[in-house]
């Protein structure tokens, strides 16, 4: 009996020691996913939007959203080589956050009342507008000039339909599967204008192969407040990101990123928006 009692006690001590080891002292950073503890952070971006979020042929990433996300990650304690970029297409952004696939998303993510029911937002960090991209020598300078002209946007987008319904009912709508196809059609003269957010249009126009060929009409057909999406209820991360965005503006990094990514298209950006202020 004594032997059994001692063995049982020893087993209890060992179990307690193992439990303490398993539960305590994990100093690894929050990776932003349900896995790891590897000291990395997963951030959602677009992979196919020049000037905003683009995966380059060499595997690197570039664009304004990438610069913003990299700056924010640094303020959260992560170096660039600790960032794991995750492609988050528009239709999957809310799900990616809910599943914990990423810690946050910076991907031309306009803050809307509907989206705020599903995710929380830091920011906004950029105020964009729906606009038109036309050839540099085009005489299209206002929406009504599109009557009788060919207007391109991507399949499923409401941008071209908005222009058609509100200011140019005689515009001929053309749809392609991606904006790169619309821009190529504009270059070749198949269409007369392309419409979506001015930041997206400026990013495409700033590509080396298109520099100097296009211009933005500057119509400001809508207000798009780009925010950083965070999992619903994660107010601590929202607060940290807002602090980082404020610092990015105050130390000049925000303006530097805007100029680097949109400057070649002569993008007349708005001033950095105030944190928490949504322009309707």
User: What is the CATH classification number for the domain harbouring 211?
Assistant: 3.40.190.10
Q: Where are the alpha helices (DSSP H) in 139-195?
A: 159-166, 179-188
- Provide the residue range defining the domain that includes 170: 130-216
Place of tokens 């913003």: 68
CA 18 from centroid of its chain's CA atoms: 43
Local confidence band at 26 (pLDDT 50, 70, 90 cut-offs)? very low
Q: At 98, list the tokens.
A: 């809910």
Is the same domain home to 240 and 211? no
The token pair at 193 is: 């204008």
Contact 69, 45 (CB under 8 A): yes
Are 123 and 54 contained in the same domain?
A: yes
The total of structural domains in the chain comes to 2
- Same domain flag for 230 and 98: yes
pTM recorded for the entire structure: 0.81
Query: Which pLDDT value is given to residue 177?
Result: 87
Q: Residue 248: is its pLDDT beyond 70?
A: yes
The answer as to whether 48 is a domain residue is yes
Query: What does the buried/exposed string (b/e) look like for 129-147 if buried means 16 or more CB atoms within 10 Å of the residue's CB?
Result: bbbbbbeeebebeebebbe
In a domain, 229, yes or no: yes
Whether residue 20 lies inside any domain: the answer is: no
Q: Are residue 117 and residue 167 in the same domain, yes or no?
A: no
Residues 185-226: tens digit of each pLDDT: 999 999 999 999 999 999 999 898 998 999 999 999 999 999
**Is 90 in the same domain as 163?**
no
Give the model confidence (pLDDT) of 81-140 as tens digits: 999 999 998 889 999 999 999 999 999 999 999 999 999 999 999 999 999 999 999 999
């Amino acid at each position: 009996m004594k032997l059994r009692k001692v063995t049982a006690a020893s087993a209890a001590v060992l179990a307690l020691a193992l439990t303490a080891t398993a539960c305590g002292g994990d100093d690894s950073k929050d990776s932003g996913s349900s896995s790891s503890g590897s000291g990395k952070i997963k951030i959602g971006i677009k992979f196919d939007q020049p000037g905003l979020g683009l995966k380059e042929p060499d595997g690197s990433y570039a664009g304004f959203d990438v610069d913003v996300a990299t700056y924010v990650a640094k303020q959260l304690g992560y170096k660039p080589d600790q960032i794991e970029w995750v492609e988050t297409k528009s239709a999957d952004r809310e799900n990616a956050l809910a599943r914990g696939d990423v810690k946050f998303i910076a991907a031309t993510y306009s803050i809307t009342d509907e989206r705020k029911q599903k995710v929380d937002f830091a920011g906004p960090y950029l105020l964009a507008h729906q606009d038109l991209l036309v050839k540099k020598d085009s005489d299209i300078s206002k929406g009504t000039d599109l009557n009788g002209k060919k207007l391109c946007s991507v399949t499923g987008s409401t941008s071209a339909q908005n222009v058609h319904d509100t200011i140019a009912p005689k515009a001929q709508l053309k749809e392609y599967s991606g904006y790169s196809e619309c821009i190529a059609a504009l270059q070749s003269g198949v269409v007369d204008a392309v419409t979506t957010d001015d930041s997206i249009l400026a990013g495409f126009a700033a590509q080396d192969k298109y520099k100097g060929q296009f211009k933005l009409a500057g119509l400001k057909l809508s207000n798009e407040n780009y925010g950083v999406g965070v999992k619903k209820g994660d107010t601590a991360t929202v607060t940290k990101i807002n602090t980082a965005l404020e610092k990015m503006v105050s130390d000049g990094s925000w303006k530097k990123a805007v100029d680097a990514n949109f400057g070649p298209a002569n993008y007349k950006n708005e001033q950095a928006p105030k944190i928490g202020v949504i322009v309707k």
